[in-house]
Structure 1
Amino acid sequence: MTTLVHVTPGRVVKIPAGNRTRKLPDTGFNVNERDPFWAALLRNGDLTVGDVPAQAAAASATPAKATATTTPATTQAASGSAAK
């Protein structure tokens, strides 16, 4: 039985993929809740059942945009190219 889940905000979940590990996406994805690996992650609170809440999705996207928009202005003012 598959269930839509997402990584609980503030947690990082890595899964084994061959001889490497892979970080799970922040978006929702389907898992078999009866599989022992996924069931343990659900029990431990690393995964949350349901789609990603809009509030958490907006919060994770906002800081990345804010730092990208302030960086060029700070760099330009520090170099003095705007004053010339």
Structure 2
Amino acid sequence: MTTLVHVTPGRVVKIPAGNRTRKLPNTAFNVNERDPFWAALIRNGDLTLGEVPAQAAATPAKTATVAAAAPATAQATTGSATK
């Protein structure tokens, strides 16, 4: 039986693909919920059932950009660079 799932916001799920791993997309996709691998990811909260919420899909990228820019701005303003 297939179920529509997506990666829980704030988590990164990597799956084995041959001798490498690959990151799951942030979009919704179908999985067999009876497969032990997918069932464990759902049970542990790494995957969430249903479509990706529009707000959650846009928030992580925006937050990461703002968080990355904030420390550099604060350091330049205070002049606390180490020499």
1:28 alignment counterpart: 28
Q: Could you state the TM-score of these two structures normalised by the residue count of structure 1?
A: 0.72
Residue of structure 1 in register with 2:9 after alignment = 9
2:50 aligns with 50
The residue type paired with residue 45 of structure 2 is G
How many pairs were matched up? 68
User: Which structure would you say has the larger Rg?
Assistant: 1
Tell me how far 1:56 sits from its aligned partner: 0.5
Matched residue, 2:19? 19
What is the percent sequence identity of the aligned residues?
83
Name structure 1 gaps, 5 residues minimum. Answer: 67-84
Runs of 5+ consecutive residues of structure 2 not aligned to the other structure: 67-83
Separation in structure 2 between the aligned mates of residue 47 and residue 64 of structure 1, nearest angstrom: 21
Distance 2:39 2:12 in 1: 16
- Detail structure 1 runs of 4+ shifted over 4 Å in the superposition: 63-66
Root mean square deviation of aligned Cα: 1.9
